[in-house]
Amino acid sequence: MRTPIFVRPLTDAEREALQHGLRSKDSFVLRRCQILLASARGERAPRIAEQVGCDDQTVLDALHAFNAQGLAALAKGSSRPHRLRPAAFPPQRAEQLRALLHRSPREFDKPTSLWTLELAATVSREQGLTPGRVTGETIRSGSGPSSGSPAPIRSTPGKKPARPPDSAGPAAPDLGAGLQR
């Protein structure tokens, strides 16, 4: 069993700042203060998480941040991930995917003339654009908006896109004028 993690011993100034943070309007600061003060009382992470209504990992993140940064851990940091996943389609492959989507699926011996996300994923794998099976959403993000990109790919075959509104304006005023009631 792992040794439980607690917050380091608090100075009087830190304890006073954390007590003041309990009256904060910012929910992030309020929750962090609740977590840190509970840990200073000797409560363990799972119990604190239950009391505060968050995940155990959130409590551990707060404890680690405070132990490393002190009161600076009360300021909310960026929510961007530390590491970004590599793109499924690097720029060159994305361009090849766009070119593939400009062609008819029938050129790839498919029984339809309309691209769907799943069909595009299958053909991209068959053509070697992706090393393995990808989802339709990966295809959607890889085909991204660009100048001259093909019409949007339907996510459901057989379902028609919405008709654009008429640009002719309102109907002519004499239309149906000769009809009797």
Total residue length of the chain = 181
CA distance 36 to 58: 12
Query: Quick one: average pLDDT of 43-71?
Result: 93
Query: Quick one: average pLDDT of 142-159?
Result: 54
Residue 84 reports pLDDT greater than 70? no
Structure tokens at 33: 């203060």
Residue 56 reports pLDDT greater than 80? yes
This prediction's pTM = 0.48
Query: Quick one: average pLDDT of 93-114?
Result: 89
Q: How far is CA 162 from the centre of its chain?
A: 26
